[in-house]
Structure 1
Amino acid sequence: MTSAPLLYVCVRPQQGAAAAEYESFRLATHLDERDLAQHDLVREPLPDDAFERFGGFVIGGSPFNVADPESTKTPVQRRLESDLERIATAAAAATTAALFTCYGIGIVTRMLGGEVTRAFPEDTGPVTISLTAAGGRDRVLGGLATRFTALTAHKEGARSLPPGAELLATNEACPVQAYRVGDRLYATQFHPEPTTRAFTERMAVYRDDGYFDSGDFDAIAGRVLAASVTEPARLLRAFAREFGSAEG
């Protein structure tokens, strides 16, 4: 176990949603503000000393899309994608640990030479995730139920497992749900951090951003609130135990 704190990396332009996401990660990992620091990558580049100060990184979601044409991306998006690739490169080389979620899995997949495409979106709400045999043996995902419910909302996904990655979790609609590269780089397509209540609050922020028909908000929120999403948070807690500074 490392002695340095973890760093939550925010890639959401919407500051209210970003603050709530940090709190979701903090609660799910059972870490306090000392053991889970935060950095707003939308507004500030990754500090030069980040790899010396922090034992690992957790990267939140974003309304950005990796698969969008480069010509349509803002300078901020291009700069933060470059910084995220720095984190992924270091984790792939086992000089740090990192867990990329949702948008972040596209960053890692593209960096590894895989294809990120809009052919594998998932509707907003609960989905069923299945561990692979490798996932069942993994030190972070291995303690989870073989099949569990998680929350998704994304417009793109990996076409197939990128080179050098080991598939840990899958489902029918978007087969690449979680993978590991080496011993310290993890990526999930689903969101491991929010409670169902926090997810509906995030839905309200993005209700007009094309993830779902805004007129269906109440029905979708009802399905979310009725779901049991205990297992994804256990994944985050396991990651924090393995790579963070807090005991337990």
Structure 2
Amino acid sequence: MKPFLIIQLRPEDEAADEEYAALLARSGLTAAETRRIRLDQQALPALSLEAYSGVIVGGGPGCVSDAPEDKDPLEARIEADILSLMPEITRRDMPYMGCCYGLGILAKHLGGEVSKARYGEPIGAVECRLTENGAADPLMAGLPRDFKAFVGHKEAVQALPPGAVHLARSDLCPYQMIRAGKNLYATQFHPEADSASFVMRIDIYRHRGYFAPEEADALKANVQAEEVTVPERMLRAFVGRYRG
């Protein structure tokens, strides 16, 4: 089997390690079946995408919609590196799963509008619903039409990017999941996350503008009370479909 390429955009060790462990646990992959690249630790190396079964891009605190002068230099370099890989990924119709920030990356590359104008969602679990196209997509075969997912984002896709297919929505955020071509998927929610993931991320990102710091304990209690299981089945289906 060709390994899956996991590209991480988080510059915090604890958050990056937890996300990688969560991606393995929810996808069914082992570490030996992946190549992990943390873009905060190294510039994007030369890659032959033919060597990989697919690409999974994680989340992070950066926002593609921030003005260049407002971006942290490290986050700006991370964003530029992953965007530089997107032309070849889309040209190949390479299996791709972008999680949260990974959706912003794909939408921006496709020429879509990503901004903080509308559709941001507070930290927590939200009710999502598959569209007709989503229900018919092979990644969602056998899944319920309605499901809960963990979210927390300041920016969002404002309109369906050119050529993309709309797969899932929530009440506050219409573009929870999209597909480009036949094999490029991206979610605004976090398919790799469970409640423990979000408890840790609340602590790590409590001063990054997602919520008022004094709300952290209440948010952690809320996410611990949620049972979220369907999104990880999408991630597992992605790996199962493209493995080998």
CA distance in 2, matches of 1:108, 1:131: 20
Over residues 51-103 of structure 1, what are the superposed CA-to-partner deviations in whole Å (9 max), with x where a residue is unaligned?
A: 13322111110000111001222443333223322443233223521111111
CA distance in 2, matches of 1:235, 1:143: 10
Q: Which residue type is aligned with residue 91 of structure 1?
A: I
Which of 59, 62, 65 is the aligned partner of 2:60?
A: 62
Task: Answer whether contact 2:93 2:182 (CA < 8 A) is retained.
Answer: no
Which of 71, 74, 77 is the aligned partner of 1:76?
A: 74
Shift of 1:25: 0.3
Over residues 157-186 of structure 1, what are the superposed CA-to-partner deviations in whole Å (9 max), with x where a residue is unaligned?
A: 011111110000011211011000011111
CA distance in 2, matches of 1:55, 1:64: 27
Shift of 1:244: 2.6
Shift of 1:46: 2.1
Over residues 12-65 of structure 1, what are the superposed CA-to-partner deviations in whole Å (9 max), with x where a residue is unaligned?
A: 010110000000000001111111221111221222124133221111100001
2:87 paired residue number: 89
Whether 1:10 and 2:8 are equivalent positions in the alignment is yes
Over residues 200-230 of structure 1, what are the superposed CA-to-partner deviations in whole Å (9 max), with x where a residue is unaligned?
A: 1111111121111221222211111111110
1:125 paired residue number: 124
Shift of 1:140: 1.3
CA distance in 1, matches of 2:48, 2:206: 34
Helix, strand or coil at the partner of 1:93: helix
Distance 1:70 1:143, change over 3 A: farther
Unaligned runs of 5+ in 1: none
CA distance in 2, matches of 1:217, 1:66: 25
Helix, strand or coil at the partner of 2:168: strand
Whether 1:48 and 2:46 are equivalent positions in the alignment is yes
CA distance in 2, matches of 1:243, 1:145: 22
1:206 paired residue number: 205
Helix, strand or coil at the partner of 1:180: strand
Task: Answer whether contact 1:87 1:98 (CA < 8 A) is retained.
Answer: no
Q: Which 10-residue stretch deviates more, 197-206 or 150-159?
A: 197-206
1:236 paired residue number: 235
Calculate the TM-score normalised by the size of structure 2.
Answer: 0.94
RMSD of equivalent CA atoms: 1.4
Task: Answer whether contact 1:94 1:184 (CA < 8 A) is retained.
Answer: no
**Equivalences, count:** 243
CA distance in 1, matches of 2:176, 2:126: 11
Distance 1:143 1:81, change over 3 A: farther
Q: Which 10-residue stretch deviates more, 80-89 or 23-32?
A: 80-89
Calculate the TM-score normalised by the size of structure 1.
Answer: 0.93
Task: Answer whether contact 1:132 1:167 (CA < 8 A) is retained.
Answer: yes
Q: Which residue type is aligned with residue 12 of structure 1?
A: R
2:23 paired residue number: 25
After superposing on structure 2, the runs of 4+ consecutive aligned residues of structure 1 that deviate more than 4 Å are: none
CA distance in 1, matches of 2:175, 2:218: 27
CA distance in 2, matches of 1:87, 1:226: 38
CA distance in 2, matches of 1:83, 1:182: 22
Unaligned runs of 5+ in 2: none
Task: Answer whether contact 1:178 1:188 (CA < 8 A) is retained.
Answer: yes
Shift of 1:131: 0.3
Identity of aligned residues (%): 36
Whether 1:140 and 2:136 are equivalent positions in the alignment is no
Task: Answer whether contact 1:122 1:153 (CA < 8 A) is retained.
Answer: yes
CA distance in 1, matches of 2:176, 2:124: 15
